[in-house]
Chains A and B, each alone.
Chain A
């Protein structure tokens, strides 16, 4: 399954013919200034509701994480580090990964989650019945159900804007081009160059996250340049799409079901004897 997905593009797999190139994000956290313009632009454009007024004490992050009402989330990490006499303040804007192998989409029982012609993953709000399966399936903890309307919500990669030839709102608002939007192939190339540049400049801690088509989700449509391990940013270090195991899971479930049938028979039959 993994191998096929790698070779093929997800939009085509989903039945889109003559589709545009797969679009995505390369978020270069090394130039993020934590301005949160992306968060606000996303909410403005998509009319996502406010998400609570909690002072968290997590540095300047009072958003806490992605969720049904937060589709871009800027993480702030104050850590002892090599820079500035031992203090480093990492900032990173997180978003739905628009996985090549998207668990949320796989498990959605209503078909509300769908693959667009751009290779992105969106929820059709008018279809979603709020079963919540996608929430537990996403290996990145992205999608969530919104209590106020019972539906699941997440980044759409601004499907409506893409359709109109516009850039997603968050990328448009990002002043430093930390969020780069474009055809995934180009982004991967650019990201490779950027990492090489940083390595040349002695910043060996720079690494890409989610760009590898061989990773556990077949490569993310939104990938990142990080300056520390993914878990530091609240990202899973080695996520694997759950449905890769599904054939085996079904097999065991089948055997178990058969065993139950057998057991029932055995229980009845053996008693007669």
Chain B
């Protein structure tokens, strides 16, 4: 077994077991921390595929920013098993059925998909120079449109956040 394979299996086991930890752990904080470990494992996979830029952006955006916000919200809400009202049996059953159906669909889709053999480090597309060139020539329109989408989402967030201020609390 080469280093590449050892690393691949290590990262795979880490990703799957921590992903299981996300849904199996009872404490929401632990779930989020497991999710961060999952993102790290996936970033490791990106590095194995020679896509270092994607790996780092994955860490910055998901593990660094979004997960920190998640942690913030969960810590402030103080979701504990004894505080949070437990869901009813019927709702739990409905959740299990819905999740199981989704699992079946994914399984069916994966079964019919053809798995391409993994070529290790043969492509340099993940390096920042090539990625930038492709994004700004071949896919420039979708790229710019998605940036407009992000901008509108940001402005929307500000508008929603500002709404309360304009109202005078004394006059109903």
Partners in one complex: no
Q: Which residues from chain B sit less than 8 Å from chain A, CB to CB?
A: none
